[in-house]
A and B are shown apart, each in its own frame.
Chain A
C-alpha cells in the first residue's frame, strides 16, 4: 500500500497516471489513495520521480495456527470488508509446516481463490451432489484441475437424490468416483451438532477408500 511523503511530493500526477487500478487521485493539495482498489503492484512508488512514495504494510487479515491432538490446523481469516483473499491464501499456504500430509479445505467456485488453493496440490477431491447444480459446477471445477494438472477424483454427497447420474458422467470422462454419502437426515443432524461423519461406523469403508485414493495419488 503506498504512503506519500507530502514534503517530497510535487503533485506531478505520475502515480495517478501509472496506476491501472484507479486507486490514486491527485487533489490540488494532496495525493489520495483508495486502499480498497490498490493491488499492491508497486508501480506508483517505483516510478515516482521524486521518490516520495514508500510502501507500507496493510493489514488485511490474519493467519491462525492451532493444535488439536495429533493435528495442526492452519487457517486465514480475511478482515471483513477486504475484497482480495488470494494474498491471504498464499500466506496460509506458505505457513504450512513440514509434515507428512496436508489436507486443504478449499473455497467454493472456480475463481482466483479456488485456483490459488488447488495450485501445487498432489491430488484433489471434488465433492459434488447429484443435482443439476452439482454436476454443472463439477464440470467447471474439473476444467480447473485439468488446467492446473492436479489429479482429481469425485466424492458424491447426498447420493440418492433423483438428479443427474454423477457416476455415469464420471465413467464417461474416466474420473474415479472415490465415495458416496447418502442423503440422510441423520447425517445432516450430526453435521449440525458439529459431529464428524467419518467417525460414524456406517461410513468407515467409504472414508477409508477416499483416504487410500488420496494417499496413493500423492505417492505416500
Chain B
C-alpha cells in the first residue's frame, strides 16, 4: 500500500487543490484529511458521511465540589496554569479551567481530600465517508483543542483499514500546515511526502523547514511549486535547494485564475477543466506515479 502525504509548512499554498486533482484522476484512492483543526477536503469532495464517532483524546481534571476544602495545594503544582484560586484570601475558591488542562493528573494525585477526578473529554469527532472518488476519512477537532496529533493518528489508522478492506492501493493524505505535532503525525508511516510551496520568501522559508522535518522520516520527498511563474527566479532557487536536499522535482503549477475560480465554487479541478494549471498537474501526477513505482 502506498501512502502519499501532501504537506506545505506554509498554509494556503495549494495542498487541497492538488489532492483534489489527484483524487479525481486516480479515482481509486482512499483520501484522508489530516488537517483536523481546519479541514477543507470535504468541501471539495462532498462526502456522504457513513460513520461518525466521538474522539475522547484525553482526560481532564474536574473538582468534586463537595469534597474540595479549597486548600489551594493544587494551584502551584499545575504547570499549565489551569488551576486558579478566585476570590479574596479569606474566602478563596479553587477552579479549574479545562481548556488549559493537559491531563497530567498531578493535581488529582496530590489532592489531600481526593477531590479532583480525571474525566474523559471529547476533543473532536471523526468520520468515514463516501465520495464520488472513493472512501474518505476525516475529522474535526473542537476549536481550541489540543491533541490534534492523536486525532491525526486515528484518521490515518482508519484510512489504512479502509484501503486494506477495499483492496485499494493508494492513500492520499491532506496534511496540515506547519511543522508541529499534527504534521509529525501525518508524515509517520508514509511512502512519499509531497511538499507544495510557492515562490514567496515565507513559502521558501517554510518549505525548508518542512523538508528538514520530512528528511527525518527517511522517505522520498517530492516538490511542487505552485504559482511558479509569479517569480521565476525565486522558483529556481527553491528548486535548487530542494534538489540539493535530495528531493525530487515533481513539477510546477502556473498562477491560474481559471483554477482559482473553479476552487472558489467548490469544484475539483479534474481532467474536465482545461487550464494551464490542470495541464501542469497531470504532468505532476505522472511523475509522482513514476516515483512511487520506484519506492
Contact = CB atoms under 8 A, between A and B. Distances in A.
A60 to B, nearest CB: 11
B230 A83 contact: no
A103 B117 CA distance: 40
Contacts of A9: none
A185 B144 CA distance: 34
A108 B177 contact: yes
A21 B59 CA distance: 11
Contact of B201 (A82, A84, A147, A194): A194
Interface stretch (B22-30, B101-109, B164-172, B276-284): B101-109
A137 B38 CA distance: 6
Interface string B199-235: 1110000000100110010000000000100110010
Contacts of A188: 227, 230, 255
Contacts of B261: 161-162
A30 B190 CA distance: 33
Given A161-B264, A188-B227, A113 B180 contact: yes
A162 B106 CA distance: 53
Interface stretch (A128-136, A168-176, A198-206, A208-216): A128-136
A106 B148 CA distance: 18
A113 B145 CA distance: 9
B65 interface: no
Main secondary structure of the interface of B (DSSP, over half): loop
B77 A46 contact: yes
Given A41-B79, A111-B148, A137-B38, A46 B110 contact: yes
Interface in A113-141: 113-115, 129-133, 136-137, 140-141
A107 B35 CA distance: 13
Contacts of B182: 111
Nearest to A39: B102
Interface size class of B (residues with CB under 8 A): 35 or more
Contacts of A131: 263-264, 266
A123 B285 CA distance: 44
Contact of A158 (B103, B141, B231, B260): B260
A74 interface: no
B266 to A, nearest CB: 4
A133 to B, nearest CB: 4
A20 B105 contact: yes
Interface string B171-198: 0000011111110100000000000001
Given A41-B79, A110-B38, A194-B200, A163 B104 contact: no
Interface in B31-57: 35, 37-38, 40, 43-44
B122 to A, nearest CB: 15
Nearest to A118: B144
A163 B126 CA distance: 27
Interface size class of A (residues with CB under 8 A): 35 or more
B149 interface: yes
A137 B109 CA distance: 39
Contact of B102 (A41, A144, A161, A191): A41
Contacts of A183: 257, 260
A99 interface: no
A18 interface: yes
Nearest to B199: A192
B88 interface: no
A42 interface: yes
A111 B266 contact: no
A40 B102 CA distance: 10
Interface string B95-125: 0000100111110011000000000000000
A163 B265 contact: yes
A112 interface: yes
A21 B12 CA distance: 33
Interface of B: 11-12, 16, 35, 37-38, 40, 43-44, 59, 77, 79-80, 99, 102-106, 109-110, 141, 143-146, 148-149, 176-182, 184, 198-201, 209, 212-213, 216, 227, 230-231, 234, 255, 257, 260-261, 263-266
10 contacts: A81-B184, A82-B180, A110-B38, A114-B144, A158-B260, A161-B261, A163-B265, A188-B227, A192-B231, A194-B200
9 interchain residue pairs of minimum CB distance: A41-B104, A163-B264, A83-B181, A111-B37, A108-B11, A161-B264, A192-B231, A43-B106, A132-B266
